[in-house]
Chain A
């Protein structure tokens, strides 16, 4: 009886609640309808606005201060978040002079046209972009190394900052980061020295069999020589391979592989892609015919490693399925296929890097590159170093 009474008493409030719910539902429905209509109007209106062509996209008018702030805020946040998983090589290795040198060579041709350099702070044409590419030295300290890596590797949308030309060469991107970290401390003279080396005085040295200045291809003085040297000795740090005396067939095939993207390098691909076949042939012959009388750089005096490397180079490690090196790369009494590079006197650093790239399947190369695939991944890091040191210690003339 009591229960019945309570339920009767509750009835009106229940009815009231139902009515309120109905009202709320109706309001919600109306709100949804209106919002949808507003979105449609905005979308159609936006399309009409764009179609009318009155939106200014001119770079000359710059961004509003607010837009500018918002875009750079969004960009900084994005870079900070996306660079979270990147593992930075130790800071010590980013200070490595040869890494800095390698980055410098590419900065001059790939970056300075927009970002300027201590030689020319504000190139005029890119300065008229919106947003204008920043002059970097004062900016570097705002970024962590892995953030710089992320920006250099992936570029930035809507700003004109391109991604690194290949996705396979993180080592090159780190070289660029190393250079960027060194950039704020450089004045114009130091920058020039780092980027160009001493291009001019190294020419006309008769003992290297160098040609007269007028015989040097234009590409060498304009671009190749900055890194590889007009004398083909690769500037003595191991940042760049020694090209002097290398087989022209190999050099030509390498340039072609770079040009068509079959050999991966954000630094070499853009340079090679600009060359005609005749220029490639001329360059291959120029560097191939340079004589190398002495070692290009100093080799660590590690006789034990050289001896171990010699054993691997001569006989391979049959139990691990690693073939000998000399049967293709010399030194050998019988002539070898000119598509195989000579390794005698090459920088150990460069050789180790190539082996690592082969191992990670990131090097690419000519139609012969797959021959290294089965070999490189079987070598340990130490064995790579030993073999590289053996070849680096050989006199360059031991080639064939």
Chain B
């Protein structure tokens, strides 16, 4: 393709009877001022554009803003690949400019052959082989399981949310949903599975993605290197609400994490205030406990997310809403609008004051 374009250009220049340099000179004389102004405009656009593009490199869902061991390796690989791609691009464009503008005359067969064999066969083979070796050499490190005795977390991909269980060494699990909290600097083993369809577990800032496949358990080691709040997403199309299947990951100092985990182990705190108490009654009266568990109450459902400490989570509805009382109300009243395909039915038919009481109760479960 490129060769064709170059050949066409050369031909056109010949027919026109003017060399490229003559032309450039002529056009530059006729509109120097205008070109300079345009050039400045184009320049600022390029700067602005690249800033915007680079802005996409950071943020809570960025592979390049690495905050974990795996993501760091992957980011390094990416930067090396990007650098070589830029080099190759510059070389190809340079050659094109050379062939079209600087020396449009026919070149010797020998030079052309050298270019094709050297640049078309030898160089790609060398570069790609080099990267293959480098890429493969990263794998053992990326796939290395967490050392025995590390914290183990089972994450199950449900339609369309994440069931998270912190597995204690004594076998008792603490269940929560749509959220991970991790101690900084410690390796963690994540066990991934799914009861029905394939999902893919991906926290871009911490590590690569790994499929969650029904009938088997995939293992992934996470080792966060920085504290902060990151996001994860399902990276394999899994059905209607796939795009709304997100979660939050908070990497915390060890002590803070330990306090948080100890709190998660506790049963739910008692409803405070008359509105929240009414909310608790309504929670049981409307049958929410058929699907949701709130430890310490008669609600023991295991179909939907465990809500024991739902009010203390970073998001609602698997990463799609904030976690304020109003968001609880919106979620319950318009579940099927907010997340098409969701298995939870909307409870918009309940009187608003009932929804408000329910929201107050759930928001208070910290």
Residues of A whose CB lies within 8 Å of any CB of B are: 316, 318-319, 321-325, 327-328, 332-337, 340, 367-368, 370-371, 373-374
Contact = CB atoms under 8 A, between A and B. Distances in A.
A202 B287 CA distance: 36
Interface in B279-299: 281, 284-291, 298-299
Interface in B237-274: none
B285 A336 contact: yes
Contacts of A319: 195
B303 A327 contact: no
B349 A334 contact: no
A321 B284 contact: no
Interface string B191-222: 00001000000000000000000000000000
B284 A323 contact: no
A374 B345 contact: yes
A371 B301 contact: no
A335 B298 contact: no
B290 A324 contact: yes
B301 A327 contact: yes
B224 to A, nearest CB: 32
Given A323-B291, A374-B343, A374-B345, A318 B285 contact: no
Given A319-B195, A336-B285, A368 B349 contact: yes
25 contacts: A316-B303, A319-B195, A321-B303, A321-B343, A323-B287, A324-B290, A324-B301, A325-B290, A327-B288, A327-B289, A327-B301, A328-B286, A328-B290, A334-B284, A334-B285, A334-B298, A335-B281, A335-B285, A336-B285, A337-B285, A337-B286, A340-B287, A367-B349, A370-B345, A374-B345
A323 B285 contact: no
A332 B287 CA distance: 11
B287 A373 contact: no
A316 B343 contact: no
Contact of A316 (B290, B345, B346, B349): B290
Given A318-B303, A334-B285, A335-B285, A323 B290 contact: yes
Given A318-B303, A332-B298, A370-B345, 15 more contacts: A321-B343, A323-B301, A323-B303, A324-B290, A327-B287, A327-B301, A328-B290, A334-B281, A334-B285, A334-B298, A336-B287, A340-B287, A370-B346, A371-B287, A373-B345
10 tightest CB-CB pairs across the interface, nearest first? A328-B287, A327-B290, A323-B290, A367-B349, A327-B287, A334-B284, A324-B290, A318-B302, A327-B289, A337-B285
A346 B284 CA distance: 23
A151 B27 CA distance: 88
Contacts of B301: 316, 323-324, 327
Nearest to A336: B285
A323 B288 CA distance: 10
Contacts, number: 52
Contacts of A370: 345-346
Contacts of A374: 343, 345
A334 B289 CA distance: 11
A324 B304 CA distance: 12
Nearest to B350: A337
A207 B21 CA distance: 113
Interface in B316-366: 343, 345-346, 349
Contacts of A323: 287, 290-291, 301, 303
A318 B156 CA distance: 14
A335 B195 CA distance: 33
Nearest to A330: B287
Contacts of A321: 303, 343
A335 B289 CA distance: 13
Contacts of B290: 316, 323-325, 327-328
A245 B302 CA distance: 31
B286 A333 contact: no
B20 to A, nearest CB: 70
Contacts of B298: 332-334
Q: Which of B195, B285, B287 has the most CB of A within 10 A?
A: B287
Contacts of A328: 286-287, 290
A325 to B, nearest CB: 8
A336 B298 CA distance: 13
B114 to A, nearest CB: 66
A332 B298 CA distance: 10
Contacts of B287: 323, 327-328, 336-337, 340, 371
A30 to B, nearest CB: 67
Contacts of A327: 284, 287-290, 299, 301
B289 A371 contact: no
A370 B298 CA distance: 24
A333 B345 CA distance: 24
B277 to A, nearest CB: 13
A324 B290 CA distance: 5
Nearest to A339: B349
B335 to A, nearest CB: 11
B260 to A, nearest CB: 27
A370 to B, nearest CB: 5
Nearest to A317: B303
B149 to A, nearest CB: 31
Contacts of B284: 327, 334, 336
Contacts of A335: 281, 285
Contacts of A322: 303
A328 B292 CA distance: 13
A323 B343 CA distance: 11
A370 B343 CA distance: 11
A340 B281 CA distance: 15
Contacts of B195: 319
A317 to B, nearest CB: 9
A370 B346 CA distance: 9
A321 B158 CA distance: 11
Contacts of A325: 290
Nearest to A326: B290
Q: Which of B285, B298, B302 has the most CB of A within 10 A?
A: B285
Nearest to B196: A321
B359 to A, nearest CB: 17
Nearest to B286: A337
A327 B345 CA distance: 15
